Amino acid sequence: MIIAIDGPAASGKGTLSRRLADHFGLRHLDTGLTYRAVAAALLANGLPLGDEGVAIEIAHNLDLAQMDKSVLSAHEIGEAASRIAVLGGLRDELVKLQRRFAQTPPGAVLDGRDIGTVVCPDATVKLFVTASPEARAKRRTDEMVSKGQDAQYAAVLEDLKRRDERDSKRTVAPMRQADDAVLLDTTEMDIETAFQAAVDIISRARGA
Ligand code: DC
């Protein structure tokens, strides 16, 4: 069983995906981390983000088990990840890795931007998780403040809108709801309600 979860930044898809993987006894891959890991390696070595040859080589040698979410969640790494995500050859390399993960028993939950459209077009169930930019900005701001970070709602909102624009307007594998994905709008939901809604959608799809 493969569950594909796509959606914009701060939509709650990460938390949801982890919980769904636990619930259904599946493995979980946050594919955003693969883009972040490549971006972080380029930044750490002072290499230009447009150097696709080096980016592909880093991706080729990427060890998913070594990706450290706490390090890779830094804001500047997310920005750099969104920039290198326009490189088609790099995406091909990362998609190979992501598909290998997805196809390893007992199956997996993958979350990202192009899982239902490109990485796993034959997934058992596809969800597109979204929420209004304002709701996402509020959640992201609250999360950062709770970690003791300095966060301004207006700046976070602008940032999310910019990221949405770049991720959905790029020519290669743009963020898009797959034709056969179920839309889950969590604007008015807390995480528990969103989780229950997702479990219902997946259970129905499995039964069908
Ligand atoms: O989900 P995230 O914020 O960790 O993702 C960081 C960037 O990586 C995101 O802005 C776009 C890119 N990305 C992508 O292009 N395709 C994916 N499947 C996952 C992430």
Phi, psi for 186 (deg, rounded to 5): -100, 15
Q: Is 204 a member of any domain?
A: no
Q: Please check the confidence at residue 45 and state whether its pLDDT lies above 90.
A: yes
In a domain, 137, yes or no: yes
Q: Is residue 117 part of a domain?
A: yes
- 49: domain CATH number is 3.40.50.300
201 found inside a domain: no
88 has binding-site annotation: no
Residue 206 lies in a domain: no
- The verdict on residue 91 lying in a domain is yes
55 vs 60, 95, 170, CA distance in Å? 9, 14, 18
pLDDT at 208 over 80: no
31 burial type by CB count under 10 A (0-12 exposed, 13-18 middle, 19+ buried): buried
Does the residue 202 lie in any domain?
Answer: no
Q: Structural domain of residue 176, as residue ranges?
A: 2-196
Query: Measuring from atom 10 of ligand 1, which residue has the nearest CA?
Result: 82
The reported pLDDT for the residue numbered 59 is 98
Ligand 1 close to Cβ of residue 167 (< 6 A) = yes
Ligand 1 atom with the smallest distance to the CA of 33 is 4
Amino acid 207: pLDDT: 80
- What tens digit of pLDDT does each residue of 65-90 get? 999 999 999 989 999 999 999 999 99
Q: Look at residue 207 and tell me if it is in a domain.
A: no
CA of 188 to the centre of ligand 1 (A): 24
Tens-digit pLDDT profile for residues 103-159: 999 999 999 999 999 999 999 999 999 999 999 999 999 999 999 989 999 999 999
Is 129 strand, coil or helix? strand
| Number of domains forming the structure of the chain | 1
Region 22-30: mean pLDDT is: 97
State pTM to two decimals.
Answer: 0.95
Question: For residue 91, which of 118, 68, 72 has the smallest C-alpha distance?
Answer: 118
Find the 167 Cα to ligand 1 centroid distance in Å.
8
